Structures are given as C-alpha cells and as structure tokens.
Structure 1
Amino acid sequence: MSKFLMFVLSISIFTSISASAAIYKGQREFVRNCVKCHKAGQSYIATKRKIEWKSYTRAKGKRLQDIHLKSDKAKKSHKYFESKKFSKNTRHLEDFLLEYAKDSGNVPACN
C-alpha cells in the first residue's frame, strides 16, 4: 500500500511541476520576439503594473496580440503574434511580465 501511495504522490508532484508556467521560458520568449521592437529591453516591462500586464495577457494574450497586429510599428512581430507559438507560450510570457512588473519590486538580471 505504501508503494502505491508513493507512486501516486510522485506522479502528482511531477505533473503539477510540468503543468505550471516558467518565468525563464517567458524571458526567453521576450528576448527572442519582443526586444527587436521594444528596444528598452527588459526595462520596458517595468513601465506597467501587474494589473496592466494581466489585462494584456488575459484570454491567451488576445489583447496583446490585437495591439501588435493593428500597429504598423510592430510589423516585425506580426508573424510571431499570428503563430501558434504565441498562444502556446503566453502563460510563460505572462509569468515573466508579472514577475518584473513596475509594482513587483523585482529587477531582471542582465543576461
């Protein structure tokens, strides 16, 4: 009985870890796809509060996507925002944006 309990417990732990979003993955998405238009880089994230970033990333980033696709200045990123990759990685990007928002008190590392 105890082996079965340990097995169920380990499966639930590994499943919950892999299902959660990762800040480092969001940072990687930001660096690969957002820095080319937002020249300020990661300091740009600190221009908005958590509640603002949440409103942009709600519904798999629909508002953020709409803003970029309607902007002529963001033509470099249209391909990314139209891809499935964006909707797949929005949760990671959201975690990264919230982690370093203006009111978070955190400062991103220089890497």
Structure 2
Amino acid sequence: MKKQTSILLASLVALGMFATSANADIKKGQKAYLKQCKKCHGNGTKGAAMKTQDEWEEAFEDNGAVFKEWHKGTKAEKYANGKKFEKSAADLKDFLYEYGSDSGNVPSCG
C-alpha cells in the first residue's frame, strides 16, 4: 500500500510540473504579443480573437509563412521576418491558438 501511495504522489508531482511548463509557453507568447502586437491589434483578447484556432494553426505552419504574408507591407513586416519572431513564434502561436475566437478562452490581463 505504501508503494502505491508513493507512486501516486510522484505521478501527481510530475503531472503538476508538466502542467506548469506547458502553461509557460502561453505566458511567454502573451508577453511577446503585448510587446510586439498590441500597438496595432489591441489587447490580447481582441488580437487572439481575430482568427479561429485552425486559422492560427495554419498561420504558423512553414515557419509562419501565412503570418508573414498578413504583415507584408505593414510596420510589423520587419518583426515578422526577423530573429525576434523566429525566437518567439512557437510561444506566440500557443498564446494566439489558446485564445482564438472559437476557443471559449479569454486571457487575463491583456
């Protein structure tokens, strides 16, 4: 009985650690959004809701080809084609996908 309890407890701790690290990407994406996107697209609630989850998924395929196309000829073109975007793209995608218009989720604080 003691061994089963230990295994259960270890599993819960491991699951808790996984949940925290999975959520960290969304938080990093929110920070990237607030820093790079908010000035044109508004707060995170408004910006993420511009597209559905499937549209956000598609936008970030092939190194963000669709995302880059959307920003061609805008003030954000330099960001979309630069190293900052490459570095934050996965986190930004996680944030935008998590709060897409069809997700039913609403980000807190921006």
- Structure-2-length-normalised TM-score: 0.70
* Deviation by residue 1:9-49 (Cα, 9 ceiling, x = unmatched): xxxx8xxx6x96700111111111111111x3221211321
Provide the secondary structure at the position in 2 that maps to 1:37.
Answer: helix
Provide the secondary structure at the position in 2 that maps to 1:61.
Answer: helix
Q: Distance in 1 between matches of 2:57 and 2:89?
A: 11
Q: Which residue pairs with 1:99 in the alignment? A: 98
Contact (CA 8 Å) 2:60, 2:89: kept in 1 or not? yes
Q: Which residue pairs with 1:33 in the alignment? A: 36
Contact (CA 8 Å) 2:28, 2:91: kept in 1 or not? yes
Runs of 5+ unmatched residues, structure 1? 1-12
Provide the secondary structure at the position in 2 that maps to 1:22.
Answer: helix
What RMSD, in angstroms, separates the aligned Cα atoms of the two structures? 2.1
Q: Which residue pairs with 1:60 in the alignment? A: 63
4+ aligned runs moved over 2 Å, structure 1: none
Contact (CA 8 Å) 2:38, 2:47: kept in 1 or not? no
- Structure-1-length-normalised TM-score: 0.70
Provide the secondary structure at the position in 1 that maps to 2:39.
Answer: coil
Provide the secondary structure at the position in 2 that maps to 1:108.
Answer: coil
Provide the secondary structure at the position in 2 that maps to 1:28.
Answer: helix
Contact (CA 8 Å) 1:50, 1:103: kept in 2 or not? yes
> Share of identical aligned residues, percent?
39
Provide the secondary structure at the position in 2 that maps to 1:107.
Answer: coil
Q: How many residues align?
A: 90
Runs of 5+ unmatched residues, structure 2? 1-13
Q: CA deviation at 1:61?
A: 1.1
